[in-house]
Amino acid sequence: MISHLSLGVRDLDSAGSFYDAVLAPLGYVRVWTADTAIGYGRPGGNDKLALKLHGGDRSLGPVPGFHLALAAPDQAAVDAFHAEALRAGAESVGEPGIRVQYSPTFYAAFVLDPDGHKLEAVHQ
């Protein structure tokens, strides 16, 4: 259903370094870079996530209730995502683990990136 998603960021270089680190355990890489944006996706593919420098435009910032769930190939990738995110300056808002309220096989971790976007890595 969704082709791609863009997130507004205050500092493109810092955000790029953060997403380079946290997306790597999930199998995603930087697929393009421009002066005001960076795109991420599978190696050799198109972007599925873009970071866009918002320069103070609040319409591009996080809104209450929004979060981005990223597919992880296994539980170890969820763990690595969470560890890399914390190392890169994120705030944990949900340690890696099973979320039985969703399903007995729903393994996820949640963080807030430096711009306040809520990110989830999930393996089912």
Q: How many angstroms separate the CA atoms of 2 and 72, rounded?
A: 17
Confidence of residue 48 (pLDDT cuts 50, 70, 90): very high
Nearest to 7 by CA among 65, 69, 49, 36: 49
Radius of gyration, alpha carbons of the chain: 14
Q: How far apart are the first and last CA of the chain?
A: 19
Residue 64 has pLDDT above 80, yes or no: no
The pLDDT, as a whole number, for residue 63 is 75
**Domains detected in the chain:** 5-55+67-123 (3.10.180.10)
Residue 30 has pLDDT above 70, yes or no: yes
In this prediction, residues 83-99 reach a mean pLDDT of 97
